[in-house]
Amino acid sequence: MGVPLNVGVIGVGKISEQYFASLPQLPGLRLTAVADLDEARARQVADEQGVEALTVDALLQDPRIDAVINLTIPAAHVEVGTRALEQGKHVFAEKPLGLTPEEALPMLELADRKGLRVGSAPDTVLGTGVQTARQVLDSGVIGAPVGAQVHWSAPGHERWHPSPLFYYQPGGGPLFDMGPYYLTSLVTLFGPVVRVAGLASRSTRERVVETGPLAGTPIPVDIDTHVSALLEHENGVTSTVTVSFEVWATRSPLFEVYGTEGTLAVPDPNRFSDPVEIATRHEPEFHEVPVSAGYADAGRGYGLADMARAIETDRPHRASGRLAFHVLEIMDAIVRSSDAKKVVEITIRVDRPEVVPHGATPDTW
């Protein structure tokens, strides 16, 4: 392993806690500084992590910082990412990559021109859950894949998040917040999507913040809260996807792949390492399969560690900006399809990322 990347984190809200929990165990990364528009919060987190607190401008301009983890709200992802690239820094962003493909593409083109890397969440797909599912699928155990079905739902993030208003603005909602976990996994399993048909709606129920200092605050809803889509992958597989902030109760998230010889139960892609199950024509009862791929005991930040190793070895990184851009294109196409009530074609392709080998670590792959 070479010299670790010095990392600065911009945005120290709720999700940052999961990154800070993982970073100490990733030898390819060294947390150096944090920044936030709430400078008092940044100082508090910096003290907890034993690093410096800087202003956003100072962190972006700091020559010590090699890479920025961008945990700002979705509306700021492209602006902050572009500014980091302009300062010669690699970028790893929370999802979504941007609000629209038109907004995000110039950022990727800038990175290409400057020889820099862009990565993006979700990196949950690099854990043993989705990666083992991918290995099982590629092994042919369930035969040739025919289709997949995905369902994720909840009443809404206002029930648990202390500052959830941005989830109901452009770049949020069930599609742009939860959709990337499932869509990134579907592309990882089957490859790129070529056609999309979508339907979206929202209820009229009033929403308020239910926890934390903002409890009782009304939430304006400016996005659709129930979204369904039919996707056609380049390899002919069709996927049906439903994500919703309108469901009060359901038995469990559903992610299943149907093949000519059996069914693959993919674990929740919002998590890293839940077990994979299969049922086949010869063994019709679902049973767990051994872990056979993926980073073990992974957490948020592994995508950046994978990127750091890829920089060192001059290989493609898996949780890439191009993959996130394709997912953004899919989500944008779902919205446009719903608005126009017609099928939308996607012309830009992305390669399926390589499987993470069983037993690999981000500093040895």
CATH number at residue 26: 3.40.50.720
Does a structural domain hold residue 327?
A: no
| 141 and 271 housed in the same domain | yes
- Answer yes or no: are the C-beta atoms of 321 and 120 closer than 8 Å: yes
pLDDT computed for residue 305 by the predictor: 97
How many domains does the chain contain in total?
2
pLDDT computed for residue 7 by the predictor: 98
- Answer yes or no: are the C-beta atoms of 314 and 149 closer than 8 Å: no
Does a structural domain hold residue 323?
A: no
Q: How far is 112 from 25, CA to CA, in rounded Å?
A: 29
Taking only the tens of pLDDT, the chain with its 365 residues reads 578 999 999 999 989 999 999 999 998 999 999 999 999 999 999 999 999 999 999 999 999 999 999 999 999 999 999 999 999 999 999 999 999 999 999 999 999 999 999 999 999 999 999 999 999 999 999 999 999 999 999 999 999 999 999 999 999 999 999 999 999 999 999 999 999 999 999 999 999 999 999 999 999 999 999 999 999 999 999 999 999 999 999 987 799 999 999 999 999 999 999 999 999 999 999 999 999 999 999 999 999 999 999 999 999 999 999 999 999 999 999 999 999 999 999 988 999 999 999 988 887 77
Contacts (Cβ under 8 Å, ≥6 apart) of 264: 133, 136, 137, 141, 142, 256, 257, 276, 277, 278
| 130 and 276 housed in the same domain | yes
pLDDT computed for residue 301 by the predictor: 96
Q: 273: domain CATH number?
A: 3.30.360.10
| 167 and 275 housed in the same domain | yes
Does a structural domain hold residue 142?
A: yes
Does a structural domain hold residue 40?
A: yes
| 183 and 60 housed in the same domain | no
| 92 and 142 housed in the same domain | no
| 173 and 74 housed in the same domain | no
Q: How far is 89 from 347, CA to CA, in rounded Å?
A: 30
Query: Six-digit token pair at 28?
Result: 């390819």
Q: Residue 212: give the domain boundaries.
A: 124-288
- Answer yes or no: are the C-beta atoms of 91 and 67 closer than 8 Å: yes
pLDDT computed for residue 364 by the predictor: 75
Contacts (Cβ under 8 Å, ≥6 apart) of 198: 227, 228, 229, 230, 333, 334, 335, 336, 337, 338, 344
| 103 and 219 housed in the same domain | no
| pTM, rounded to two decimals | 0.95
| 28 and 128 housed in the same domain | no
Query: Six-digit token pair at 224?
Result: 């659709």
Does a structural domain hold residue 141?
A: yes
pLDDT computed for residue 1 by the predictor: 56
Does a structural domain hold residue 276?
A: yes
| 271 and 306 housed in the same domain | no
| 43 and 118 housed in the same domain | yes
Does a structural domain hold residue 44?
A: yes
| 29 and 71 housed in the same domain | yes
